[in-house]
Chains A and B, each alone.
Chain A
Amino acid sequence: MNILELKGISMIYGQVKALYEVDLTVEQGEWLAIMGPSGSGKTTMMNIIGCMDKPTDGSVTFDGQEISKLGPSELTAIRRDKIGLIFQQFHLISYLTALENVMVAQYYHSMIDEDEALQALERVGLKDRAKHLPRQLSGGEQQRVCIARALINYPRLILADEPTGNLDETNEGVVMDILSKLHGEGSTIIVVTHDPEVAEFAEKTVFLDHGRINKIVRNSRPANAKTDADALKAAGAL
């Protein structure tokens, strides 16, 4: 069953074709990587899939609903209810603790549940850092808080933009392991990345070039994409 279907998607800024007649389908529970050089249209595609932008042409069907013509408030509702966003820059709220950063997503979604937010932090190995402010956390820990926040409302789709772009190798392993576990539990994941090693975790990699899909490669998970169990244990994620 397809959770996402892009048909003839174009995004044109003046004379610039950021995306041009792109077709793509993503199945429920699938892990997809989107790769491409700078300016290939990765961010534009992520914004359209993440309901943060609308295509100038084509249709987007997400979870059975045509969303390309929806208004800003309807798109906000879809982001809130169905999409978990993970950012390269983490984007945590600086004056809220790790726990509160997770609870903010609950607050906008429906109602807060501190125990559930703590459980989400526990899943990413940060229960004991729940009362820390973002500036008191390392980059890897901040990214894990970002993941906990993305998961808290049980999204239909996890959309990650360069999730390991600002992390060292150890924390990259920790984050990819968490994503692998989520995928193992049935989550649909789309990762936008420059890093081929990150892309190799996905079942399918879409290569973009000049706003068009160049090729789609089905991956067989390589040996070097295994998680670093020691690093995970050291980081407390296991």
Chain B
Amino acid sequence: MFMKMLVSSLIRRRSRMLVALIAIAIGATVLLGMVAISFDIPRQMGREFRSYGANMILVPSGEDALVKLSDAERAAAFIPKEQLVGMTPYRYEIVRINMQGYTAAGTSFDDVRRTSPYWNVNGEWPKGADDILIGSDIAEFTRITPGTVIAITGRSGSGARFKRDMTVSGIVRTGSVEDAFIFMHMPTLEELMGDSGTAEVVEISVATSEAGLGELVSRIEAEVPGVSPRLVKRVTQSETAVLSKLQSLVFLVTLVVLALTMICVATTMMTVVMERRKEIGLKKAIGAGNRSIAAEFIGEGLLLGVAGGLFGGVCGYFFAQAVSMNVFGRSVYLDWKLLPLTAAVSAVVTVAACLGPVRRATDVEPALVLRGE
């Protein structure tokens, strides 16, 4: 009979209950959407942050002057594939153009594009073995433009002189010290220097949190003694700060939405109680105790909360997808455990919102309402 009364009350008085249901569903939609996005922000923003450059570098450990590329590969193997955005080695040597000395960096341009997507290249990225990029500072000083062929001279590791004509495919501007460098393919530089397999530094871009990076550093330090991994603090710390603020903002918005939902449901339930004073008075007159009256209203609230929570939860998934696609351009990962959790939170919020109105309901004097006061 209890369920029959609850269900009949909800179904046969659906216009009023629909208002409460919609309020709860909207609250649940925003709740699930925000929580899903909040959980997914580190993953989504982690990818976004990777456009600001590498967050870990590998430098030689101990007294070694160079990092062995084989050691760097071993270190990279500890990074989960889905987190590894890119790994770029840099080897620096001194070369000359028209007798003027410059720093030449051998690297992998495909990897540079992944770890340093902020590089602005005027012209084209190098393709052939003799294609090079020159920094914007050098280009300004020497008035070299893309397409120019220049002679690179220098001495190899054994001291032998070399001279090679190379084509400037583009001018790179990074806003940093790289603007004074010449960049060429790593095999080309290794050929000129007469040795291979080493680099001064290896930049790694990993899409994970500061804590995750810290764990990787510890692991690499322990397992690969030839390299010393270090975090790029300015990147990792600002990432953590931004993520923390974003998550706090989402948390705050979620709290506000929950509070608004609670107010809306409480107002609706208060109206329901006022409308049903005669019914409450009658029930008390024919023998309903305060507990029965309270149980009926809380039961209605519970049903509304669960129904609104489930419906709103499903809508919340689409809401989160829409927000994620618009803001991050990627779909959001949704943990389906959030759906029953949202229904449970909605039920708790709705029941809490019902407590005030229920108290008013139990205060109803049957004699007063039955004679129309």
Contacts and interface: CB of A to CB of B under 8 A. Distances in A.
Interface of A: 43, 47, 50, 52-53, 73, 76-77, 79-81, 85, 87, 89, 91, 93-96, 100, 103-109, 112, 133, 149, 153
A79 B13 CA distance: 28
Given A93-B279, A93-B282, A104-B5, A77 B287 contact: yes
B13 A95 contact: yes
A52 B367 contact: yes
Contacts of B12: 94-95, 133
Interface stretch (B145-153, B197-205, B288-296): B288-296
Contacts of A53: 367
Interface in B1-32: 1-2, 4-5, 8-9, 11-13
Contact of B370 (A77, A80, A87, A107): A87
Given A77-B287, A100-B8, A104-B283, 20 more contacts: A52-B365, A76-B287, A76-B289, A79-B287, A80-B286, A80-B288, A85-B286, A91-B278, A94-B279, A95-B11, A95-B12, A104-B286, A105-B286, A106-B1, A107-B2, A107-B5, A108-B288, A108-B289, A108-B292, A112-B1
A52 B283 contact: no
Interface of B: 1-2, 4-5, 8-9, 11-13, 278-279, 282-290, 292, 365-367, 370-372
A76 B370 contact: no
Nearest to B285: A85
Nearest to B4: A100
A109 B1 contact: no
20 contacts: A52-B365, A52-B366, A52-B367, A73-B289, A76-B289, A79-B287, A80-B288, A89-B370, A89-B372, A91-B285, A93-B279, A93-B283, A94-B13, A95-B9, A100-B1, A100-B4, A100-B5, A104-B286, A108-B289, A112-B1
B1 A107 contact: yes
A81 B284 CA distance: 12
A87 B370 CA distance: 8
Contacts of B13: 94-95
B287 A81 contact: yes
The DSSP consensus for interface residues of chain A is helix
B287 A108 contact: yes
Nearest to A109: B287
A109 B1 CA distance: 12
Nearest to B365: A52
Nearest to B290: A73
Nearest to B286: A105
Closest 6 CB pairs of A and B: A80-B287, A95-B12, A52-B367, A107-B1, A108-B287, A47-B367
Contacts of A91: 278, 282, 285, 370
Contacts of A109: 287
A153 B278 CA distance: 22
A225 to B, nearest CB: 27
Contacts of A103: 1
Nearest to B371: A43
Contacts of B372: 89
Contacts of B9: 95
Nearest to B292: A108
Contacts of B5: 96, 100, 104, 107
A103 B287 CA distance: 12
Contact of B286 (A43, A96, A112, A149): A149
Contacts of A149: 286
B256 to A, nearest CB: 35
A161 to B, nearest CB: 8
A153 B286 CA distance: 10
Name which of A53, A76, A133 has the most chain B CB atoms within 10 A of its CB: A76
A184 B38 CA distance: 74
Contacts of A87: 282, 370
Contacts of A94: 12-13, 279
A94 B13 CA distance: 9
A109 B285 CA distance: 12
Contacts of A85: 285-286
Contact of A96 (B8, B284, B285, B371): B8
A176 to B, nearest CB: 22
A108 B8 contact: no
A113 B279 CA distance: 22
